[in-house]
Structure 1
Amino acid sequence: MTSRVYGYLRASTNEQDVSRARAPLLTFAAEQGLTVDAWFTENESGATLQRPELFRLLEIARTDDVLLVEQVDRLSRLNGNDWERLQGLIKSKGVRVVALDLPTSHQLLHTGDEFTNRMLGAINGMMLDMLAAIARKDYEDRRRRQRQGITKAKAEGRYRGRPVDERLHASVRELLMDGKSYSKVMEIMNCSRATVAKVAREMKESPVNS
């Protein structure tokens, strides 16, 4: 059975161009003599497991299929426990993770004898763990600097917070009141789960305004 290649594209916010990485992934695939069979795209934080498109990819993937990403941090900025859960699922499915910024993973595209394949798999697993840990540390460092900046700005009376997109929130509120699921609202409004959750929380806290 022929292995399939799935491209996974992720950006944290709707303001970021999630399709930007498609070109380098297509170039890499062409250089390796591969065709990307399907693309899975979403605007969700890499620090959460609430990523429906990633799990949809893993649900349909078969043994030896390839999950192709530009960088390991597109796949994970997860904490240790969540990363173990995701990595365990990937291993149980027998999916090969290939990242452009992880050269050892490129060798997984070319199968050899069983011993070589196992060695390459073990080496790649260790490197993947290391880069996932680095991605998490980078995430936590940026969050800490952001909190420090907000604290300083508040102390100096300069903090105004992120402006709320009132029109977006109003539309999300209407869809939730209409009984739409989080996933359906995200699809219709092209917004993140965090935005939908925030509106839902505000509705719960202020039911009169809902």
Structure 2
Amino acid sequence: RRGQQVLPLESAQDQCRPLNSVPRDEAALALRLTLQHLEQRLEANQFNGGNKTSDLVSDYRCGRLGPAVVNASFLPDEAVRSLSGRELLLYQRLARRLRKSLMRLRDLRMAERIQRRLGMKEGQSMLFAVGVGHLLPSEHSVVAHLRSANFSLQLLPWNDTEQRLDGISGTFGPSNNRRPIEFPSYPNSRW
């Protein structure tokens, strides 16, 4: 922080709004399916596999996260296959709604806020903390939106000795008056 002002790109309300907008029938289905899935895993003693936080962190560090993670189903395939026709339609509608509102719309809003803040504070250094899901290679990511607004972004290297990511560095504006921007990334990205 070193004396810099810390400003959020989103409020807690911004983050919760997509979940609060889910219709009751879709929320009830999601809750029931989640509880069924957790009960099945508990009965089968399968709480030690698949997308654990440590696995995701390892994939992040190795540059293996990508659209497949963001576009992954909210439920295992076997749970989705067991849905009746109406339930399947509800689930698909909910998945589309959440994917759009939790990622795409938030990505656009964050990119717009980054642009606005950079415009207001020309010549000042700024740091933006953005969750990795919003930086994954996608035509709708924060990075894609900033690039379409003529920001020039480049990856900074992974620092193995300190076990941290150095982030993304970028500039915007005429070559004689470029403003640096930085935000976290993961190694081996293919933007």
- The normalised TM-score by structure 2 is 0.35
Larger relative contact order (Cα-Cα within 8 Å, sequence gap ≥ 6):
2
More helix by share: 1
- The normalised TM-score by structure 1 is 0.32
